Amino acid sequence: MNTLRGSTVVALLLAAASSAWAHHSATMFEQTKTITVEGVVKEFQWTNPHSWLLVDVTDKNGKVTTWGFEAEGPSTLQRAGIRPSEFKAGTRVTMTGRPMKDGRPAAIWVLAVRGDGKKFDPREGFQVK
Amino acid sequence: MKLTSLVATAVLLIGTALLVNTVRAEDAAEARQRMIELGKAHKTAESLYLALKERAHGGRRLAPSSMPDWSGVYTRARGGITFDPDQQRGAPPTAKLTPEFQRKLAERIEMANKGIEWDPISTCSPPGHPRWLTEPFLRDFVVTPDQTYLINEMVNDIRRIYTDGRGHIAEEDRLPLYNGDSIGFWDGDKLVIHTNQLQAGIYQRRNPDYTDQVETVEIWQKVNPRLIEVDVWVYDPPALAEPWYTKQSYAKLDDQNKTLRIRYWHCGENQNNTVVETDGGGTQFRDFTFDGQGSGIGDQGSGGKP
C-alpha cells in the first residue's frame, strides 16, 4: 500500500530553487521546505514550458490524493535523462518536492526515486556537458 | 623517487596551477575593465558601433566558402538567470543605475524577498532583447552570408541580424519591438551587432528594468569548438548611469545521439502551467487538472488576474 509520508521538513535544498523558474516565478512554492510522498505514477504530462508528473498517493485511511510535480519542459528534462518512458502509469515512485504555500497538492519536482532505486533530478537538465 | 621529491613536485604543480589561475583571473578582470572603458568612451550605442565598424574598415561580406561554423545546439554557459554572469552570488546586479531605476530595483528585490513577484513572460510573451541573452534553454545559430539567425528555444524566439550592408529603419518609421532591429558586420570571425527599436522590459527577475530607449552593441565570436562568447554593451540613458558591459557565453552541447531538438513552444499546451498575476502583484496558478483527463491542450487562455 502506498503511504503518505508527507510530513513537511525543513530542507537545505535551496539549490532546488532553480527548477521551474524559467517561465514563471516560483514564489507560490515554499522556498525552504520539502515534502516527500510515495505513490504510483498516474500520468506524465510531457508539455512545454513545464511538464507535470502526476502521482497518486494513498494515505493510511485509503484516501487517494493526486499530487502534481512540476518540472521544466521536455528538452530540459531529456537532458536530465527524464522521459515519459521512464515513468509509465503505475510506476512506483518516491517524490521529493517543494510544496505549494496554499496547501494544494502540488510541488516543484526536486527528486524522484523510482521503485527500482533509480534517481531523477530535473536540475541536471541545465548542466552544460 | 623519494617521498620528499614527490611532495615537492606536487607542491610545485599546485603552486603553478594556482599562479596560472590567478594570472588568468587578473587578465579577465583587466579585459573586462578595458571593455567597460570602451563603452564609456562612447555616448551612444550607435557611436560605439560605428567606431568598431571603422576599426574593421567597414567589415567584410561573408562568402559561402568562408563562413564560421556555428552549427550545433548551444545553451547559456553560465550566469543562471542573472543578466551579468559575473555578478557575485548574493550581490546586487552590476549595472550602474540612475537613482530612479536603482529605487525600482530595490523595490523589486524587496518584494521578491517577501514572496511577491510577477514576471511579464509568465503568459508566454517573448523575453525581448537584451533579456533574450539570458534565457537558459536550447539555442542554435545559423550563419548565412547576408543574415545570421540567433535562435532561442523559448517561445520560438528568433533574432535576425542583417549583415548585407543595410542600415536601420528610418527613425520616423520605427516602432518598439521585442527583439528590435539588428544590423551587423563581420570583423574577421567576429560578428558585430547594433540593435535598436526595442521595447521596455526587465533584464531578468531581481534585475533592473530597461526602457524603450535601450540599445545594444554585441561582439559575437566562437572562441573554441565548444564555446561562443559575446561582449555586450547596453545603453539606456533613462535607466543606466553608464553603459552596462557584460560578457555572455554559450556552450555547445554534446549531442552525439542527435536527440536534442528545438521545438515550437506555446504556453497553452497544458492548462496546469497557466499562472496569473494576483491583485497584490504576485504569481499564482489557476486550478489544476490532476484528474487524469490529459493536459488540456489549448483549452485555456493565459494572463489576467483571477
pLDDT tens for each residue of B58-111: 999 999 888 999 999 999 999 988 999 999 988 999 999 999 999 999 999 999
Q: Do B135 and A126 touch (CB under 8 A)?
A: no
Residue A16 pLDDT: 38
Interchain proximity B136–A104, CB inside 8 Å = no
**% of chain B residues with pLDDT over 70:** 87
Residue of B nearest to A41 (CA): B292
**Interchain CB contact of B151 with A (< 8 Å):** no
> B26 pLDDT band (50/70/90 cuts)?
confident
Are the Cβ atoms of A25 and B119 closer than 8 angstroms?
Answer: yes
pLDDT at B15 over 80: no
Element (H, E) at B196: strand B190-196
- Choose among B275, B283, B290: nearest Cβ to A66: B290
Are the beta carbons of B283 and A27 closer than 8 angstroms?
yes
SS3 A99: strand
Nearest beta carbon to residue A128 from set B251, B262, B282: B251
Q: pLDDT-derived band of residue B25, with 50, 70 and 90 as boundaries?
A: confident
Mutate one of B267, B285, B289 to test the A interface: name it (highest A CB count within 10 A): B285
For residue B297, pLDDT beyond 50 = no
Percent of chain A having pLDDT more than 70? 83
Chains A & B: contacts with CB separation below 8 Å: 118
Burial B199-235 (b: 16+ CB within 10 A, else e): bbbbbbbbbbbbbbebbbbbbbbbeeeeebbbbbbbb
Residue that wins the pLDDT comparison between B302 and A57: A57
B294 near A CB under 8 A = yes
Separation in Å, CA of B234 to nearest CA in chain A: 23
**Average pLDDT over every residue of B22-26:** 69
> Is pLDDT of B295 > 80?
no
| Top-confidence residue, B291 or B96 | B96
Predicted pLDDT of residue B11: 65
Other Cβ atoms within 10 Å of B255 Cβ, number: 13
Residue A31 and residue B280: Cα distance in Å, rounded?
19
Q: Can you tell me the mean pLDDT for B274-279? A: 93
User: What pLDDT digit, counting tens, does each position of B136-163 carry?
Assistant: 999 999 999 999 999 999 988 999 999 9
Among the partner residues A68, A101, A129, nearest to B288 by beta-carbon distance? A68
How far is B110 from B116, CA to CA, in rounded Å? 9
The per-residue pLDDT for B76 is 96
Q: Give the per-residue pLDDT at B20.
A: 57
- Which of B18-22, B70-74, B111-115, B260-264 shows the lowest mean pLDDT across its residues? B18-22
Contact: A27, B116; criterion CB under 8 Å? yes
pLDDT band at A59 (very low <50, low <70, confident <90, very high): very high
Joined grid coordinates for residue B56: 574593421
A11: pLDDT strictly greater than 80: no
CB-CB under 8 Å, B251 with A45 = no
**Rounded mean pLDDT, B269-284:** 93
What's the confidence (pLDDT) of residue B264?
86
* Residue B124: band (very low, low, confident or very high) from pLDDT cuts 50, 70, 90: confident
Q: Do A45 and B153 touch (CB under 8 A)?
A: no
Q: How far is A66 from chain B (nearest CA, A)?
A: 6
Model confidence at B302: pLDDT above 60:
no
Q: What value does the mean pLDDT take over residues A49-61? A: 96
Identify which has the larger pLDDT, B226 or A6.
B226
- Give the per-residue pLDDT at A30: 95
In Å, what is the CA distance from A32 to each residue of A9, A22, A73, B258? 9, 19, 23, 38
pLDDT at B292 over 90: no
Check residue B7 and give its pLDDT. 67
Is some CB atom of chain A closer than 8 A to the CB atom of B282?
yes
- pLDDT value of position B90: 87
**Across residues A21-28, what is the average pLDDT?**
84
What is the model's pLDDT at position B296? 47
Please give the angle made by the CA atoms of B18, B75 and B70, to the nearest 5 degrees: 95
The grid coordinates of residue B238 equal 533613462
Q: CB of B74 within 8 A of CB of B228?
A: yes
Provide the pLDDT for residue B1: 56
Side-chain-side CA neighbours of B135 within 13 Å: the count stands at 28
For the ranges B198-207, B240-249, B270-279, B297-306, the lowest mean pLDDT is seen at: B297-306
Provide mean pLDDT across the span B196-209. Answer: 97
Assess contact for B88 and B79: CB atoms under 8 A. no
- Residue A3: per-residue pLDDT: 44
Distance from CA of A31 to the nearest CA of B (A): 9
Q: Is B36 helix (H, G, I), strand (E, B) or coil?
A: helix
Residue B131 has what pLDDT? 97
DSSP code of residue B203: S
What average pLDDT does range B236-260 have in this prediction?
96
Interchain pair A25, B118: CB under 8 A: yes
From chain B residues 6-65, the ones with a CB under 8 A of any chain A CB are none
- Band the pLDDT of B18: cuts 50, 70, 90: low
Q: What integer pLDDT is reported at residue B303 of this predicted model?
A: 40
pTM of the full structure: 0.87
